[in-house]
């Protein structure tokens, strides 16, 4: 009897599974709040130099203290060395471009607007210090990068539930620490630790869902989890609108994780992991608990270690450390995994290339957040239909191709058509959201149980590398304005073509061993092509 058949006898997608999916999905609502938080907590208000104090303590008019830019606004980072009183005379010079200027030695004045209290205004992250704002976000993404590696490996060694519980606690504690940060250095340290925990929550939530639900429900559950992230973008916009002060907003999106920490003690550890880690007795106890919740207590009591062949089928794995090593005859599997990791990289790379700075679109930042979140709803609904009806490979490759083509199309749209450019960006972002949705399902189905979440962790690592490289590529606009769009668009298009070499996993049971995976790739008819090269 396979584990899938056993799970079906114990209730399939029963009360236990439904409750589990809901309990694990609610925390995912808050993940978007942390990923996109700096769009609001690090928003940049309009600002200009604080005028040089007058010797007679009288107010100096702004027009004679600050030079004006070409748009008729005060310059952000320069002021006149001496007040240009002649500019108040209608017969005087219309500008003071020839007058000597200096940096903002006395600080800045921030104008009232959408952003009034952010880390930018608190620590003056403007002008020569403006790069520190991006550094803070990069440090957070570095935490996610390290967490994708660390918690993927630790999850396979110590279990999904224990790591998830710890990550809830760490995320709540470091989030509160960020809200109380007395300096930018302390803020960055806390944000790094928050990113570390965020990766652990994402990975272990997905693993517990994947390993406790029947095969036919995987796509739907994966999409539900994806929609929680989408709804989280609306939650963030609402919270940011209601809490304009950055410390209050940071606190609001962090405190719920203490609630998640307390109820996570009720989670049941993955029976698949218990077996592969040498604890079949604990796995059987968990399965009986599942049967009881699903109203199948008698069926659960009938099963013993000897009667349930899934345990014995995996006993040969006990004592063997997880490994990605495969026989040389299955060399094609190695290349297919490379392609699998590449599509995680390209999806995240293109996504952050489009949406890493909402202020850059020139629209109201709250409205932009809502639009970028709203497009995920139809995109992910369409993706689950394609995943369920036409297969994982088509859904993954198609969404990446659409995203890449939308980004490349913007190369040929003139800047005088901002609405069309925004529309293409929104469609591309929706396609990338669909690609993320498929990637969590597809990648999880390509790895065997013993290394599934190490593999998912490595896939997450590639995604985080993509998110960290994206802002560096945007700097290439100084060479030529279209070069970043060419790179952002080419990456998902290449990934879409590479997806053709992955096997289809629709209706296939989750592989338990590396041998099962190798057989799946051999059955796809594509491994031979690579193996003979």
CA nearest to 507, candidates 273, 216, 99: 216
Contact 460, 444 (CB under 8 A): no
Between 358 and 532, whose confidence is greater? Answer: 358
Task: Look at the alpha carbons of 500, 501, 506, 510 in this order and tell me if their dihedral is positive or negative.
Answer: negative
Contact 149, 458 (CB under 8 A): yes
Task: Sort strands 79-80 and 101-102 into parallel, antiparallel or unpaired.
Answer: antiparallel
Task: Look at the alpha carbons of 198, 193, 240, 47 in this order and tell me if their dihedral is positive or negative.
Answer: negative
pLDDT class of 312 with cuts at 50, 70, 90: very low
Between 400 and 304, whose confidence is greater? Answer: 400
Q: What's the rounded mean pLDDT across residues 228-247?
A: 88
Between 8 and 232, whose confidence is greater? Answer: 232
CATH number for 1-38+125-318 (one of 2.60.40.10, 1.10.10.10, 1.20.1250.20, 3.40.50.11540): it is 1.20.1250.20
- Rounded CA-CA distance 226/197 in Å is 19
**Count of CA atoms in the C-beta half-sphere (13 A) of 172:** 14
Model pLDDT, residue 316 = 44
- pLDDT exceeds 80 at position 430: yes
**Model confidence over 92-114: pLDDT tens digits?**
444 555 678 788 888 888 887 78
- pLDDT exceeds 70 at position 381: yes
The torsion angles phi and psi of 101, rounded to 5 degrees, stand at -125, 165
**C-alpha 193: how far from chain center:** 15
Model pLDDT, residue 529 = 42
Element (H, E) at 79: strand 79-80
pLDDT class of 184 with cuts at 50, 70, 90: very high
Between 449 and 92, whose confidence is greater? Answer: 449
**Planar angle of CA 208, 214, 218, nearest 5 degrees:** 70
Q: Which of 12-21, 157-166, 218-227, 458-467 has the highest mean pLDDT?
A: 157-166
CATH class of 322-533: mainly alpha
Model pLDDT, residue 527 = 43
Q: Kindly state the tokens that stand for 454.
A: 């190490």
Element (H, E) at 49: strand 47-49
CA nearest to 399, candidates 384, 419, 410: 384
Contact 291, 10 (CB under 8 A): yes
CA nearest to 403, candidates 485, 473, 305, 289: 485
- How many percent of the chain have pLDDT more than 90? 11
pLDDT class of 204 with cuts at 50, 70, 90: confident
CA nearest to 198, candidates 472, 453, 470, 460: 460
Q: How many CB atoms lie within 10 A of CB 282?
A: 16
DSSP letter at 203?
A: H
Q: What value does the mean pLDDT of the chain take?
A: 76
Model pLDDT, residue 145 = 84
Residues contacting residue 64 through CB under 8 Å, at least 6 positions apart: 80, 83, 84, 85, 87, 88
Instruction: Identify the bridge partners of residue 38 per DSSP, sorted by sequence position.
Output: none
- pLDDT exceeds 70 at position 511: no
Model pLDDT, residue 180 = 93
Q: Which of 67-71, 236-240, 377-381 has the highest mean pLDDT?
A: 236-240
- pLDDT exceeds 50 at position 380: yes
DSSP letter at 364?
A: -
Model pLDDT, residue 252 = 93
- Rounded CA-CA distance 497/501 in Å is 8
Element (H, E) at 102: strand 101-102
Model pLDDT, residue 327 = 44
pLDDT class of 249 with cuts at 50, 70, 90: very high
Cα torsion through 100, 103, 108, 110, rounded to 10? 70
- Rounded CA-CA distance 285/289 in Å is 6
**Model confidence over 13-68: pLDDT tens digits?**
777 778 888 888 888 888 888 888 888 898 888 888 888 776 554 566 777 778 87
Q: Can you point out the beta strands (E) in 104-227?
A: 108-110
Contact 379, 434 (CB under 8 A): yes
Contact 25, 228 (CB under 8 A): yes
Residues contacting residue 39 through CB under 8 Å, at least 6 positions apart: 240, 357, 358, 359, 365, 369
Task: Look at the alpha carbons of 352, 357, 358, 362 in this order and tell me if their dihedral is positive or negative.
Answer: negative
Model pLDDT, residue 405 = 92
- pLDDT exceeds 50 at position 225: yes
Model pLDDT, residue 494 = 87
Contact 521, 336 (CB under 8 A): yes
**1-38+125-318 shares its CATH topology with 322-533:** yes
Q: Kindly state the tokens that stand for 111.
A: 């104008």
- pLDDT exceeds 60 at position 506: yes
Model pLDDT, residue 188 = 94
**Model confidence over 462-483: pLDDT tens digits?**
888 888 777 777 767 667 878 8
Q: What is the 3-state secondary structure (H, E, C) of 174-196?
A: HHHHHHCCCCHHHHHHHHHHHHH
pLDDT class of 392 with cuts at 50, 70, 90: confident
Q: What is the 3-state secondary structure (H, E, C) of 11-44?
A: CCCCHHHHHHHHHHHHHHCCHHHHHCCHHHHCCC
- Rounded CA-CA distance 344/325 in Å is 21
List the domain boundaries for the chain: 1-38+125-318, 46-111, 322-533
pLDDT class of 517 with cuts at 50, 70, 90: low
pLDDT class of 317 with cuts at 50, 70, 90: very low
- pLDDT exceeds 80 at position 297: no
- Rounded CA-CA distance 314/71 in Å is 70
Q: Kindly state the tokens that stand for 71.
A: 């748009």
Q: How many residues does the chain have?
A: 533
Contact 108, 124 (CB under 8 A): yes
Q: How many CB atoms lie within 10 A of CB 533?
A: 8
CA nearest to 192, candidates 150, 245, 161: 150
DSSP letter at 526?
A: -
């Amino acid at each position: 009897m396979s584990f899938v058949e056993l799970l079906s006898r114990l209730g399939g997608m029963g009360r236990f599974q439904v409750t589990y999916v809901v309990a694990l999905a609610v925390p995912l609502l808050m993940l978007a709040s942390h990923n996109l938080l700096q769009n609001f907590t690090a928003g940049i208000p309009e600002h200009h130099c604080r005028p040089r104090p007058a010797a007679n303590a009288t107010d100096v008019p702004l027009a004679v203290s600050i030079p004006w830019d070409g748009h008729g606004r005060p310059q952000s980072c320069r002021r006149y060395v001496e007040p240009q009183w002649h500019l108040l005379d209608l017969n005087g010079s219309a500008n003071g471009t020839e007058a000597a200027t200096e940096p903002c030695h006395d600080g800045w004045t921030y104008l009232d607007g959408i952003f009034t209290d952010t880390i930018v205004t608190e620590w003056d992250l403007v002008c020569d210090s403006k790069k520190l704002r991006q550094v803070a976000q990069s440090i957070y993404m570095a935490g996610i990068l390290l967490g994708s590696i660390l918690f993927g490996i630790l999850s396979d060694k110590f279990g999904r539930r224990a790591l998830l519980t710890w990550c809830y606690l760490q995320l709540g504690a470091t989030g509160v620490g960020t809200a109380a940060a007395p300096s930018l250095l302390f803020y960055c340290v806390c944000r790094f630790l928050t990113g570390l925990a965020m990766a652990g929550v994402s990975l272990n939530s997905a693993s517990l869902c994947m390993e406790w639900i029947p095969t036919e429900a995987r796509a739907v559950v994966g999409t539900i989890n994806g929609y929680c992230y989408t709804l989280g973008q609306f939650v963030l916009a609402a919270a940011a609108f209601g809490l304009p002060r950055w410390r209050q907003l940071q606190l609001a999106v962090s405190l719920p994780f203490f609630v998640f920490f307390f109820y996570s003690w009720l989670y049941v550890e993955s029976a698949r992991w218990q077996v592969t880690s040498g604890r079949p007795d604990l796995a059987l106890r968990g399965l009986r608990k599942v049967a009881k919740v699903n109203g199948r207590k008698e069926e659960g009591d009938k099963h013993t270690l000897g009667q349930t062949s899934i345990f014995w089928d995996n006993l040969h794995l006990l004592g063997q450390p997880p490994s990605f090593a495969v026989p040389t005859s299955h060399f094609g599997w190695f290349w297919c995994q490379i392609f699998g990791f590449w599509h995680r990289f390209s999806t995240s790379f293109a996504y952050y290339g489009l949406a890493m700075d909402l202020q850059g679109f020139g629209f109201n930042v709250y409205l932009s957040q809502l639009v970028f979140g709203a497009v995920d709803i139809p995109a992910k609904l369409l993706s689950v239909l394609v995943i369920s009806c036409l297969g994982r490979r088509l859904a993954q490759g198609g969404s990446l191709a659409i995203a890449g083509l939308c980004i490349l199309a913007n190369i040929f749209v003139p800047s005088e058509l901002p609405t069309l450019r925004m529309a293409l960006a929104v469609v591309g972002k929706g396609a990338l959201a669909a690609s993320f949705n498929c990637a969590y399902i597809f990648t999880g189905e390509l790895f065997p149980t013993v290394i599934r979440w190490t593999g998912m962790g490595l896939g997450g690592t590639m995604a985080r590398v993509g998110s960290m490289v994206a802002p560096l590529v945007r700097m290439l606009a100084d060479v030529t304005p279209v070069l970043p769009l060419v790179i952002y668009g080419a990456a998902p298009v290449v990934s879409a073509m590479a997806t053709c070499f992955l096997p289809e996993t629709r209706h296939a049971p989750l592989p338990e061993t590396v041998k099962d995976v190798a057989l799946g790739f051999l059955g796809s008819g594509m491994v031979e092509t690579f193996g003979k090269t």
